[in-house]
Structure 1
């Protein structure tokens, strides 16, 4: 009887340890992983995956961005992937995970012909603000970032 209790206890500890190290569980408490990126990551596939897609001619899935912004303002946890496409058609992927106090930001330009090829970059930012360009366009930007202030922007309209 003692032996079975010991084995059961060990099994429970192992299961608990495996759950704690699950890579889909974020430190922020958000447990939903981003959808897998299907190659080639074209705008149609990105849109179907639920990404906010930024093209020269406009933004697709803008409603998802608006929902994310509302949740940030209410301090509710949320996450979003924004895929931007260059003139040449290369994709640059931004993943933002908001934990209720800060935004964990990941930037991946490895699919862009002119990207850095240095792999993913990450940063932690305090929030999202707005910035006006010289041409008068208003953009959402990440603010209070530990590394780079200009790593992400998306048109407000």
Structure 2
């Protein structure tokens, strides 16, 4: 109780000091819409909504999207894009940012683009010759102190990619297992895998199911070590929830990258339909 009381008193004192110094608290606690694109310190949610906006723009169809970017203090900055089939109406709202300018900026823009490299993805608006950066995503593993993962997959999770122990295991479906003990991805392959994880928003909490009534069925277990953190997920092919579908799509991307790896291509082919 003493700790709780002290915490509450400290919070009140901090709030009082902020107001005394002319810094206002956030106007409200913004509740994001399920279709808002959320950008929160490396965690990206609903990025497909921005891709859908660009697709509609390219087809000259009306479209709207809101991007919510959170400051370090947790304050939301809102960016609204509204395409009316002629121009993109841009509005940037920092009124909920207690340390920002507290202003609303409006512009008209003629174009929106998505640019992807092996290490970066960014979305830009062209507004009368000037560029407005909407979202920037870095997926460069060399800029991380640590990026390793262990993916177990297939019926019985007998296949495994373990970059931590540099081990690759393949189930040949005939009772035989093949193991590569010095397996490595190239830096380019790791960047593509890291990008797939970021776009699946692997840093967020997931509602996944590891149950499945059909037999046989594929199940998956993924552990990611990023810098000093660790994330762990388990699900099956029966999980058709939004999170399950997104994680399965990410898993498919990783396996496609694996199948292009020279060490994997040198392994014997499987004798069955499941890996």
- TM-score for the superposition, normalised by structure 1: 0.61
Indicate conservation of the 8 Å contact 2:63/2:82, yes or no.
yes
Counterparts of 1:6-155 in structure 2, within 5 Å, are: 39-41=28-30, 45-48=31-34, 50-117=35-102, 119-130=103-114, 136-143=119-126, 145-146=127-128, 148-150=130-132, 152-155=134-137
Q: Kindly tell me the number of residue pairs found equivalent between the two proteins.
A: 113
- Structure 1, unmatched stretches of 5+, are 1-37
Structure 1 stretches of 4+ with a deviation exceeding 6 A read: none
Indicate conservation of the 8 Å contact 2:120/2:136, yes or no.
no
1:101 Cα deviation from its structure 2 partner: 2.5
Indicate conservation of the 8 Å contact 1:141/1:153, yes or no.
yes
Structure 1 residues 149 and 57: alpha-carbon distance in aligned structure 2, compared to 1, 3 A threshold? closer
Measure, in 2, the Cα distance between the counterparts of 1:121 and 1:153.
17
- TM-score for the superposition, normalised by structure 2: 0.37
Structure 1 residues 57 and 47: alpha-carbon distance in aligned structure 2, compared to 1, 3 A threshold? farther
Indicate conservation of the 8 Å contact 1:79/1:98, yes or no.
yes
RMSD: 2.6
Measure, in 1, the Cα distance between the counterparts of 2:130 and 2:95.
18
Indicate conservation of the 8 Å contact 2:122/2:133, yes or no.
no
Measure, in 2, the Cα distance between the counterparts of 1:154 and 1:75.
25
Indicate conservation of the 8 Å contact 1:47/1:60, yes or no.
no
Measure, in 2, the Cα distance between the counterparts of 1:108 and 1:82.
10
**2:220 corresponding residue in structure 1:** none
Indicate conservation of the 8 Å contact 2:54/2:113, yes or no.
no
- Structure 2, unmatched stretches of 5+, are 1-26, 139-198, 200-275
